[in-house]
Amino acid sequence: MRGAEALTNPGVPVAAIRTTCPYCGVGCGVLATPDGRGGAAIAGDPDHPANLGRLCSKGAALGETLGLGARVLHPLQRNAAGGYDRVGWDAALDAVAAGLRAIIERDGPDAVAFYLSGQLLTEDYYVANKLMKGFIGSPHVDTNSRLCMSSTVAGHRRVLGSDTVPGNYEDLDSADLIVLVGSNAAWCHPVLFRRMQQNRSQRGARIVVIDPRVTATADDADMVLAIKPGSDAVLFAGLLVHLAANGLTDATYLARHVSGYEAALENARQIAPSIARVAERTGLTPVAVSRFYELWGATPAVVTAWSQGVNQSAQGTDKVAAILHCHLATGRIGRPGGGPFSLTGQPNAMGGREVGGLANMLAAHMGYAPVEIDRVRRFWNAPNMAQTEGLKAVAMMDAVAERRIKALWVMATNPAVSLPRADAVRAALGRLDLFVVSENVLSNDTLSAKPHLVLPAAAWGEKDGTVTNSERRISRQRAFLPLPGEVKPDWWIICEVARRLGFGGAFGYAGPTEIYAEHAALSAFENDGSRDFDIGSHAGSTKQSYDALEPVQWPVRAGRPLGTARLFAQGGFFTGDGRARMTPLAVPGLAAGTSETFPLLLNTGRVRDHWHTMTRTGLSPRLSAHTAEPTVQLNPTDAARFGVTEGGFARIATRFGAVVLKVALDAGVQTGSLFAPIHWSAQTASHARIGAAVQPACDPFSGQPEMKATPAAIAPVAYAAQGFMLTRETFALPERSWWAKLAVEGGEGRLFATDATPADLMAAVRTAFGEDGLTEMVDLEGGVYRCAVVQDGRLVAALFVAPFGRAPLWDTVKQAFADDAAMPENRLALLAGRGPDGSADPGPTVCACFGVGLNAIRAAFAGGAATPEDIGRQLRAGTNCGSCLPELRRIGAQARETVAA
Ligand code: SF4
């Protein structure tokens, strides 16, 4: 809960505020009802077209993430000793402006850069882009969206002429075939995946999953194509050849609306001359390839949707283009139930694209053609227009390392964790002459690079503006909490710096309404219909109309306020001649292959209940319970080959860095591959910043790094003991420990493995907590130590450790830790690992919404439950957001296999 400074009319009921989820690109509508004590009740907005009332586990737990405990609440300035002093806003902003001015005067505008985020609102993004590209005169504005969907942007612009998603979410309801390429939608776009599942169950739509890794999404698929990493473009080139060879192309559409077809087809024939060759290059069987081609070819209402498996690739742009080619060749684009569909990762990656948040775009979907530079210059009345494309994220950090960029302002992102070669990035950031971070939370690894200034920025619930989701739908994010401490919105911070740099006249906005209206006006400025992004209908936005803005899909051209559901069914591409441009693919292959030293390919991605670097989801005990610690997943065959075992630990090393992760065997991971999650930082785990091991190689067109296929080695790591710790405050484990930290009800939990002895741990506990209220179970010879510390009738700490391989279960103790009243009389039961009522450990959480554990679900299946629906009736698991339904199916299947065996 928030401190007294944040209270608003305590006890007075407040109506629900309509806002938008801050996590993924689905862009679900949220109803937030402030409780008057700094928190809010969260529900899905039934009137929002993106989700129709649904939320996934992450969205449903937003209310658990509103506390102020980890927030940056005041401007901070680094002092000579390397610590931080609290300073006033004037001093902080003066220091930023003076630092920028000095570096610009000394080294020129190209020496300064902004690194932004798909978490920013469009209005924040707009003023940051305008300041840098129009007034400071540097093109170096890039964003973490570079890591997310820039290959889609490049593919869209190459083939469609503009960065336009042709269709919308309703197509997922009405498609007869949904092909998911490189997308674990069940975990990463859960609400959309529910819509796809509903289409399948109610209309009989078929779902095909194309992914090297068999994920939860594949559990519900009619066909699973586990292709070789990086071979997607070959598969779709072969599909184009198949469509042409079997008379399945739309000759009329091609003749009227597409150029380059013959050259693209000839190129596809060279890449994929036969089914056999496609099978060989993709690792699929010829039968599987043929079945997929026949299904795709025979189903006019087909949506091909893709996500990071396509984008985060050295051939990402070609992969996107190869998919677009198949839809163009069949005219299956912009029609109800049919079209290519990019599933955006972040909540406002699309909004960032709209304002020019990417280094290779200028503003309002305009690029760096001279006429566009001049148009934007005149609109902004800008004195120092950037004249060329700027540096993309990886190249930007190279420039920081080489001291070509000397001032960097990072907003709302965590590059010291998320960028490839993250250790080198962190070191480079520490060498900047001026390093500014605008941030919500202290638990951001990037702060460990010691920025000169930390500016407290508004968080979700406090911010006011717009975001655009994957289907081009602009929605309002509305504030429902007051700004705590001295926190300010990003747009305000940027405009205050602009004013101090002498540009106040162009940045004198009274609020986000005026910024949005200007952004809308720019989109329509000298736009005769030749530019896709046009929200001119909103150029006259007033506070009243802006506050009342309903979700709407752009273009929203002047006089057409209802927006545009689909584009391109009748051509009209934004290419000058109106024709889409099919273009030969390069298909260069993976950035780097395996070798004797690095014989595996490291794939990275998300887990179900966490988001990015966990600075928000990591605050929720519910969300933290599902995947409590970072694992490396690999095929049992590779595990045997490299001597690692389920539940053990392994070091994953690449040319760029190394991590140590717990091992989880998964037959769904191809032999030759490893999978590791992206979420853990130095704040939440001792050795799990996977970005440190990821290669910096990028797609040559988009600049998006290949984060799915870094050559890597794996080797076992041995620890003597393992256990867990629950504390109200942070407790430092001995140095020879691996740990993962997570939020639990009432405090902090750590799962650890260690070479420290039980005696070492016992001593550490006694030093930290004293012996008053300490109950212990000690078997030092047997390597066992368990303790509970009860103070003032309250369990304040528990530590269990045992020899490695005999990890004590912790869910029962976690429950006791959350339930103060139950424990004092039950300390011995607690140390025995049983609940106050003698109940056994419920096991790891599967259903985050209702806190249902694995053991309870297994027991229900063993007791006769046959389906996830049965489990829902008995335990409620899976009956809310549905994110755990694929896991329930897997557990049920395992239970049936056990019985059969
Ligand atoms: S699917 Fe989940 S994370 Fe994504 S926007 Fe909806 S509620 Fe948020």
Residues in the chain, total: 901
Does residue 648 or residue 892 have the better pLDDT?
648
Query: Is 631 a pocket residue for ligand 1 (Cβ < 6 Å)?
Result: no
pLDDT at 797 over 50: yes
Query: Is 58 a pocket residue for ligand 1 (Cβ < 6 Å)?
Result: yes
Helix (H, G, I), strand (E, B) or coil at 142: strand
How does pLDDT run across 510-542, given as a tens digit for each residue?
A: 999 999 999 999 999 999 999 999 999 999 999
Q: How far is the CA of 128 from the centre of ligand 1 (A)?
A: 26
Q: How far is the CA of 755 from the centre of ligand 1 (A)?
A: 40
* Alpha carbons 259 and 253: distance in angstroms, whole number: 10
Question: What pLDDT does 591 receive?
Answer: 83
How does pLDDT run across 50-70, given as a tens digit for each residue?
A: 999 999 999 999 999 998 988
Q: How far is the CA of 612 from the centre of ligand 1 (A)?
A: 13
Query: For ligand 1, atom 2, which residue shows the shortest CA distance?
Result: 56
Q: How far is the CA of 176 from the centre of ligand 1 (A)?
A: 24
Question: What pLDDT does 874 receive?
Answer: 87
Give the number of the atom of ligand 1 that is nearest the alpha carbon of residue 27: 5
Confidence at 130, pLDDT banded by 50, 70, 90: very high
Confidence at 763, pLDDT banded by 50, 70, 90: very high
* Alpha carbons 886 and 346: distance in angstroms, whole number: 23
Question: What pLDDT does 11 receive?
Answer: 44
Query: What does each C-alpha distance from 741 to 35, 409, 571, 661, 738 come to in angstroms?
Result: 29, 29, 53, 13, 10
Query: Is 345 a pocket residue for ligand 1 (Cβ < 6 Å)?
Result: no
Phi, psi torsion values for 183, nearest 5 degrees: -140, 120
Confidence at 500, pLDDT banded by 50, 70, 90: very high
Query: Is 849 a pocket residue for ligand 1 (Cβ < 6 Å)?
Result: no
85-94 long-range contacts, CB within 8 A, separation 24+: 89/486, 89/488, 89/496, 92/453, 92/455, 93/493, 93/496, 93/497, 93/500, 94/500
Residue of 57, 58, 467 to mutate, ligand 1, most atoms within 8 A of C-beta: 58
How confident is the model over 460-473, as a mean pLDDT? Answer: 96
Question: What pLDDT does 194 receive?
Answer: 93
pLDDT at 897 over 80: no
Query: Is 55 a pocket residue for ligand 1 (Cβ < 6 Å)?
Result: yes
pTM comes to 0.92
Confidence at 835, pLDDT banded by 50, 70, 90: low
Q: How far is the CA of 25 from the centre of ligand 1 (A)?
A: 7
pLDDT at 3 over 50: no
pLDDT at 825 over 70: no
* Alpha carbons 669 and 639: distance in angstroms, whole number: 11
Question: What pLDDT does 837 receive?
Answer: 60
- Mean pLDDT, rounded, of the chain: 92
> One-letter amino acid identity for 79?
N
* Alpha carbons 193 and 184: distance in angstroms, whole number: 9
Which H or E run contains 415? helix 415-418
Q: How far is the CA of 848 from the centre of ligand 1 (A)?
A: 14
Residue of 20, 31, 62, 191 to mutate, ligand 1, most atoms within 8 A of C-beta: 191
Residue 623, Cβ neighbours under 10 Å: how many?
28
Query: Is 483 a pocket residue for ligand 1 (Cβ < 6 Å)?
Result: no
Question: What pLDDT does 840 receive?
Answer: 63
Question: What pLDDT does 7 receive?
Answer: 34
Lowest mean pLDDT among 436-440, 561-565, 827-831: 827-831
Confidence at 820, pLDDT banded by 50, 70, 90: low
Lowest mean pLDDT among 271-280, 629-638, 869-878: 869-878
Question: What pLDDT does 895 receive?
Answer: 77
